[in-house]
Amino acid sequence: MRRLLRDKVSKVYLSKDGTWTPHFSLAKEFQNTPSLIQVATGCAHRNLEMVLMMEDTPSDFDVVLALSRTLSNVPHAAPVRRSRPARKSRVDSWENLTER
């Protein structure tokens, strides 16, 4: 699977030398998603998407994920869920439950 970074509007790919190219064959392939996100964070382009190519050439099986930017200027693919603090239980232990 190839991981590529593409501009949503112009459909140009980030190339191996850091420029933008319309040719997917010259596009930089990322080894993993975190490295792609790290590069996307530093890009001047605002409308980026991650393209997951299942074959060597574009096909109907490719997956395209839009990378949006939050107010902190960090791209993300999905909203970040924050964990809630643990609720304090009225029952401290099984022994306390059975004593009542």
pLDDT recorded at residue 93: 52
pLDDT recorded at residue 17: 93
Burial of 3 (0-12, 13-18, 19+ CB in 10 A): middle
pLDDT recorded at residue 19: 93
E strands, 54-92, in order: 63-69, 75-76
48 to 34, 40, 90, 91: CA distances (angstroms) = 15, 7, 49, 50
pLDDT recorded at residue 50: 94
Mean pLDDT by 10 residues, the chain (100 residues): 93 94 95 92 86 88 82 48 54 54
Q: In what order do the strands lie in the sheet with 2-7?
A: 20-21, 13-14, 2-7, 48-53, 63-69, 75-76
What are the residues facing 20 on neighbouring strands? 14
pLDDT tens string 33-44 = 999 999 998 887
